Amino acid sequence: MKSNKEILDHFGNLLACEVFDSQYRFILNEISDLSQTDGYTNLFQKMNEVQKKEIENYTREILEGALFDFLRIFEEYPEFKIVYEENGEQIDLNKISEMLKAEPIIDNGWIKRFSKELKNESL
């Protein structure tokens, strides 16, 4: 069986890459590409680079908040669980994390450690 840290890191990596990055990637497109997206033409057509950076930051905050609130459900409603299973043994992620809801967004949390999109931004 993997250690608690390995289990949480594996889950955190999936959450950062498969959920956060998957959604965040959209706003990282060039303004010229975004302005051609149906339903968002007026939003992006006259946007400058400063405004674009602000909307990237805003989008990031929204995604982080949504992940926080989603994971909070598993802390506040014990009837719902996120379970890791290996060889028939089950571990409730909420029980092995000090504060599951904050894991993605704390300093050196899952998003900062595992997001490929954030790593690409700093290059």
Q: What is the pLDDT of residue 119?
A: 87
For residue 122, pLDDT over 80 is answered with no
Q: What is the pLDDT of residue 123?
A: 54
Q: How confident is the model at residue 121 (pLDDT cuts 50, 70, 90)?
A: confident
Q: Report the alpha-carbon distance of residue 34 to residue 25 in Å, rounded.
A: 12
Q: How confident is the model at residue 101 (pLDDT cuts 50, 70, 90)?
A: very high
Contacts of 40 (CB under 8 A, 6+ apart): 34
pTM: 0.90
pLDDT digits (tens, 9 = 90+) for 4-42: 999 999 999 999 999 999 999 999 999 999 999 888 888
87-114 average pLDDT score = 96
Percentage with pLDDT > 90 across the chain: 88
* 3-class state of residue 106 by DSSP: coil
